[in-house]
Structure 1
Amino acid sequence: MFDSPLSASAYEILGVAASVDEETLRKAYRLRLRQTHPDTGGDSALFVQVQRAWALVGEPTARAAYDRGHGFGAASAPSFAPEATDAPTWRPPRATADTRPRARSYGQPGGWRRERYLDLIREWVGRGVALDDPYDPALVRSAPHHVRRLLADALAEEATARIVADLGMGYTVWHDVSAVGRGADPNAKIDHVVLGPSGLYGILSEDFGGPVRVRRGELIGDGVTDAPIAGLVARMRVIARAAGVRFGGAIVVLPDDDVEQPIDEIGKVRGAPVAIVSRSALSTVLRRGVTGVRAVGGNEVFDVRTRLQQSVRFA
């Protein structure tokens, strides 16, 4: 919470400017508690956000640390920049002493969206204007929503990639892929395609900037546009036809604070079993599988992997 490009700051949650004094901040906190308390007709999700915001800025030392980390203070703040900006392609970070086999990984998670974000943030700032750090938190926070959304989704894809990489050598993942070949739609991209013992999955990594719920087989929420689940399933069909494979199911990965429960298997959407999963629960789901998804093993794993390698391209 509060660390997404789309998240409101702790001060915005409390309804004050970042420059207010301690007494004004305390009064705002008490007011927001009364306004959002469920017992007085308030929203329970907002009530929790208010409490978390106060935990971050209610005490002077914590507030100073928060200000530094989110661009409100004079000191430099950490940025949303990639971990290795000089690397030609993204790779999951690995500790020096960690020699465990990692999942096979192809493509660059979040790469297309980061490139698009850089184009748009420079366009928004204006031509001829020096842009020392396009990932500076203060700059990101002031950018238009559609620009911040690109960066939020890039970060979400990178977070999922790190989780999948730790599943081990029994898994293969293709990041930010679309189908190639006759009749394929180059715009039909999937954030991640994951092949493992529990099945073949299409995965959507999202960050809508706030809580989401499920209604009639689709996500709803203030930041949700279009039909994310239906779109994912449709894109899975495109790649399945091009590669001659069959997906087992679809997974939507969301920030932990944005879902009501860590794992929500909502049944089939257009014939595909679908699970809405918090980021911290993703590895559990990929290891155990989603209900109704057929496991993949033996020579079939090699066949599916070969078909996908020959039939996907990277954004």
Structure 2
Amino acid sequence: MPDSPLSRTPYEVLGVSPEATDDELRRAYRRLLRETHPDTGGSAAEFHAVQLAWELVGTSGERAAYDSGAGARRSAPDARAAGGPGGASMPHRPEGSSLKARSYGHPGGDEREHFLTLMKEWVGRGVDLPDPYDPALVRSAPREIRRWLAKAMAEEETARIVSTLGIGYTIWNNVLVGRTGGNIDQLVLGPAGLFAIQSEDWGSVVRLSRGELVGEGIADDEEPFRMLGQNARALAREVGVKFTALVIVVPDDDLESAIEQIERGRLSGSVVVRRSLLPQLLRNGVGGGDRASVDRVFELRSRLQQGVRFV
């Protein structure tokens, strides 16, 4: 998957405006080199991010190329990881094959609509917008707009991953929860049970703290697990099912451990997992729980097919 739309731009890494002069850019770079150098107590990852930022905009030629979009296929520098192609992905389109998982609903569709609406409002009425996914345009947009695209791409990637698990799995995307007015990104049903999944990308490292996810990109009043739990309980009552586990999926670089599990409280058993390990989790379940019988899976699928509504 391409870099997140929430990956920091070189200007954000260096802490300057895109309109900063070359001298201001150079001073910021030199100051941050001193502040982030590991030998002076800084972060090696942040030190590397500063160097990558300078490589993209450090000279007049490189800066002009970056600002024009010519350097868009190079990764935006980020302390989470280094390298990888940039740019926004196209919407997920499941390929028709009897070997792929059944898939219903439109992953990321609602989020892309929000992104496009906000992007058009931000650019301004009457302004021609031939490609709202142009990498140079996306990275210049406010974070709250880029967040919608990052969310859509995360949902699309989860749908793509689940589709490879085979016909024994079914995925419902962007499921409406009538009682709360919210939604659950994905319901995944397979031999290991029924999972309620949120596919996220906050553009920063996250971790569990006191039964909730925290991180630089997560707002203080944002409680991802509590919200997922609330929606899952409401949907379970609406449809008459029981979820095996609640799962939040994040990019691999955004979680230090492969998987972290809530051990206590009402959300006990809920997990946050690296995206690359999602297939393993969906095949084996959480904690090696009992596998559902074929009849039970068929019953749950029928009940969900009758009760699920989409955003």
Interval of TM-score (by shorter of Structure 1 and Structure 2): 0.7 to 0.9
Q: 1:296 and 2:298 equivalent? A: no
Taking structure 1 as reference, are residues 26 and 278 closer, same or farther at Cα in structure 2, changes over 3 Å only?
farther
Aligned mate of 1:123, from 121, 124, 137: 121
Q: 1:80 and 2:88 equivalent? A: yes
Per-residue deviation, residues 262-294 of structure 1 (Å, max 9, x unmatched):
212232552451111111111121112112754
Aligned mate of 1:203, from 197, 201, 204: 197
* 1:73-152 equivalences in 2 (<5 Å): 79-80=87-88, 82-83=90-91, 90-93=92-95, 101-152=99-150
Any stretches of 5+ residues in structure 2 without a counterpart? 75-84
Match of 1:146, as an amino acid? E
Residue 311 of structure 1 and its aligned partner are, at CA, apart by 1.0
8 Å CA contact retained: 2:162, 2:171: yes
Residue 54 of structure 1 and its aligned partner are, at CA, apart by 7.2
8 Å CA contact retained: 1:202, 1:247: yes
Residue 295 of structure 1 and its aligned partner are, at CA, apart by 2.6
How far apart are the structure 2 equivalents of 1:48 and 1:237?
A: 44
8 Å CA contact retained: 1:265, 1:290: no
Q: 1:230 and 2:226 equivalent? A: yes
1:70 — aligned with what? 72
Taking structure 1 as reference, are residues 287 and 57 closer, same or farther at Cα in structure 2, changes over 3 Å only?
farther
Residue 47 of structure 1 and its aligned partner are, at CA, apart by 4.2
8 Å CA contact retained: 2:175, 2:185: yes
Match of 2:204, as an amino acid? G
1:155 — aligned with what? 153
Residue 234 of structure 1 and its aligned partner are, at CA, apart by 0.9
- The alignment's TM-score, normalised by the length of structure 1, stands at 0.80
Q: 1:248 and 2:244 equivalent? A: yes
1:86 — aligned with what? none
8 Å CA contact retained: 1:249, 1:272: no
What SS does the aligned partner of 2:271 have?
A: strand
Match of 1:162, as an amino acid? R
Taking structure 1 as reference, are residues 302 and 175 closer, same or farther at Cα in structure 2, changes over 3 Å only?
same
How far apart are the structure 2 equivalents of 1:193 and 1:123?
A: 32
How far apart are the structure 2 equivalents of 1:171 and 1:268?
A: 29
8 Å CA contact retained: 1:230, 1:269: no
How far apart are the structure 2 equivalents of 1:268 and 1:69?
A: 47
How far apart are the structure 2 equivalents of 1:293 and 1:233?
A: 20
Per-residue deviation, residues 12-49 of structure 1 (Å, max 9, x unmatched):
435578899xxx99997776454224553324553454
Q: 1:218 and 2:212 equivalent? A: yes
The RMSD of aligned alpha carbons is: 3.6
- Identity between Structure 1 and Structure 2 (%): 51
Which stretch of structure 1 is more off in the superposition, 228-237 or 185-194?
185-194
Match of 2:244, as an amino acid? G
2:186 — aligned with what? 192
Any stretches of 5+ residues in structure 1 without a counterpart? 84-89
Taking structure 1 as reference, are residues 25 and 120 closer, same or farther at Cα in structure 2, changes over 3 Å only?
closer
2:80 — aligned with what? none
Residue 156 of structure 1 and its aligned partner are, at CA, apart by 0.7
8 Å CA contact retained: 1:153, 1:206: yes
- The alignment's TM-score, normalised by the length of structure 2, stands at 0.81
Per-residue deviation, residues 139-172 of structure 1 (Å, max 9, x unmatched):
2122222211111100111111111111111111
Match of 2:6, as an amino acid? L
Taking structure 1 as reference, are residues 271 and 186 closer, same or farther at Cα in structure 2, changes over 3 Å only?
closer
2:307 — aligned with what? 311
What SS does the aligned partner of 1:273 have?
A: coil
